[in-house]
Amino acid sequence: MKRRLFLGAMGAGAKAADICGCSLFPQAAANNENLFASVGTKIRITGVKVFGVSLTPDSDRPYVFVKLETNQPGLHGWGEGTLEGKAAAVIACVEDFKEFLIGADPMQVEHHWQAMYVHSFYRAGPVIGSAISGIDQALWDIRGKALGLPVYKLLGGPVDPRGVRGYYHIRARSKADLPRVREEARRQGITCFKGCLLYTSPSPRD
């Protein structure tokens, strides 16, 4: 293919992507504002910050936290998008979404999730999914604070007065640790937990 034809095709493709909305462009947030002008709020996202936080100086698996700032004093949201071993990739992905988010109404949580997931063009994997998860949590955090309600109520639950059943992550280093783990769980009233048994068996039959 000749260079001129190739560049022309690339330009046409970019224009088509702009028209069909199959890619995230910096003007997307402005378009969102027009789309929801009659039903949206005056709250706007003014800043997107992402942090990698390690528990130890030499850790290669930092936690990833997202902070969304707004034009309302004291109103901001936090989310977590940790992906073990790929923290730098998730942080970069959150940065990619920054131009889309700045200027957008954070109350349109579901719309932003769909826009980030569907309009990323390529199918989302664990990196994009983790980045969106951190942003989504921060958006819900803002919505809950703005409305004065805990997020679990905004999501419709729990309907059970006992609350939502959760699980704890408990790590055992040997077979001898298992009774200790069981008793500790029983003492704390834990009825469900996820465990990781780390030990070397001396033989296949052991």
DSSP, residue by residue, 51-117: EEE-SSTT-S--EEEEEEEESSTT-EEEEE---TT-HHHHHHHHHHHHHHHTTS-TT-HHHHHHHHH
Tens-place pLDDT, residues 4-46: 554 455 555 554 444 444 545 544 554 555 666 667 799 999 9
Contacts of 76 (CB under 8 A, 6+ apart): 67, 68, 69, 70, 141, 142
Provide the residue ranges of all domains of the chain, joining segments of one domain with +: 19-152, 168-197
> Would you state the torsion angle of the CA atoms of residues 122, 106, 89, 26, taken in this order, to the nearest 10 degrees?
60
Lowest mean pLDDT among 23-27, 78-82, 132-136: 23-27
Tens-place pLDDT, residues 139-184: 999 999 999 999 988 888 777 777 777 777 766 777 777 788 888 8
| Residue 93: predicted pLDDT | 96
* Residue pair 185/193 in contact by the 8 Å Cβ criterion: yes
Alpha-carbon Rg for the chain, nearest whole angstrom, is 23
Q: Which residues pair with 24 in a beta bridge?
A: none
Helices (H) and strands (E) in the chain, counts: 7, 5
The verdict on pTM exceeding 0.75 is no
Topology, domain 19-152 = Enolase-like; domain 1 (3.30.390)
Label residues 51-83 b or e (16+ Cβ within 10 Å = b): eeeeeeeeeeebbbbbbbbbebeeebbebebbb
* Residue pair 110/118 in contact by the 8 Å Cβ criterion: no
In single-letter form, the type of residue at position 148 comes to: G
DSSP state of 31: H
